[in-house]
Structure 1
Amino acid sequence: MHSPITGAAAGVPFTALPPAGNGPAPLIVTWHMLDAPRSDAAFAAALPMNDLPAWRVHLGMPMCGSRMVDGSMDAGVELLRKDVLMAALFPFVRQATEEFPAALASIRAQLPVDDGPIGVLGGSLGGAVALRILADTQVPVFAGAVVNAAIRVRSVVDLFTGDYPYDPESQKAADSLDFVAKAGVIGRAPLLVVSGEQDHSALRADALDLVDALGERSELLSIPELAHALADEPGIEPAPQLPLAREVDAGLTTWFQRHLAEAG
């Protein structure tokens, strides 16, 4: 097992895990949670997928990890308090999506990855980024996966406040991050939906709705006893893999291994 490689791709911090073999290999890109693990390095430690013959490049979300303000999450927390949707959730997903094409080109320039379709993986709010790559871009994707994902952003908003004051602008933003409604385009690639049976009930229901909407283009992997987070707090630095995260990791590895083989 090779040591992680850290760097930046068009300004986006990353932690890259090389495949065991030499030469160009396929690429899987991930986006982490805002819960633990809440940095690219911590997410790489929680879900390394070490047995895959592919590069796993874990990208940092805005205002997380090395992009934290003054070395803490306080500024991001303040945005959540100011306006959970329009100051935090929506702009974070929008920025991560918009900066991805340049980051992908930089990754290809820096690392010996092949030029074929990529895999995408996201956890929690990072799941919304992975789903938006599928729904709103033309980036070729051979398979995707999400873990305890923000599938309908309204459900996430409700976790913070049950009476969010929606207006036309925020309604439009929330609609853009309703991926059950976008199942028709998300289904361009097979999708694994990993859902902890102890996750927030609304997020769990959204996961089941997405699988139902996607039909045969998706699979559900339910993890008994898994709540929302995949690592212990504070979740910023790499930490030993928890047993439940290891179970998620095994499911993701099996899923991507299968679709890598199908992609040739």
Structure 2
Amino acid sequence: MSGELEIINLAKVFGGLVAINDVSLKLEPGSLSAVIGPNGAGKTTLFNMVTGHLRPTRGSILLDGEELVGLSPRTIVKRGIVRGFQVASLFGTFTVEEAMAAAVHAHRDRLFDFMGTFPDPDSLERARHVMSLTGLAAKGARRCDSLSHGDRKLLDIALALAIDPRVLLLDEPTAGMGRDESRAMIDRIHHLWEHERMTLVFIEHDMDIVFSIAQTVFVLRSGALLAKGSPAEVRAHPRVIEAYLGSAA
């Protein structure tokens, strides 16, 4: 499976605005990492380049040593990098089980194969396996548009997980959640990572969450990599304290 993601001297310039400035980082296979930084630091822009939705101005993005820059988003998904978007709404009239099976079916290039049964047994088996892992099995018959906010976010992650990613990117998976709901979501994500052992990297503003589960933390500021290291190292880094965490960190 592997899943080593290496970003080398990556930059993105929009006109005169430098959104990402010479960023290099490496995610080891099976690692769990977080990307943090103030609003406007370039976190989502970085994810957009890794997934092919933005083309870098310069630099390289390697998955297991193979260049991704210039590939389409669909091809990058096929290579094994999947991003959790807020896409559950696309399956509003589907049941949870149907949405999951459709995601697997589409990844296997069979979405428009109407000659056989939908969902086919293999797709359904994978869908039910991931539903069990994510705690959605009991809600398989529910329509996607009837789910709570937290369950929609969980379905979004499950849809990404259903297609066997080598690298899973999550952009603020706890956004819009209360404290207890956020804690439950991050515990579920940690469980999924422990079970599947894909390379997982997430953007998050809640520092308690970041420091409780991430093995490595990357800190962006004004598009540049300010610091990287273990949670303890980042928490104690003087420049990080000054720029982001505050003197009380």
TM over 0.5: no
Higher relative contact order (CA 8 A, sep 6+): 2
Q: Which has the larger radius of gyration?
A: 2
When normalised by structure 1's length, the TM-score is 0.29
Structure having the larger proportion of residues in strand: 2
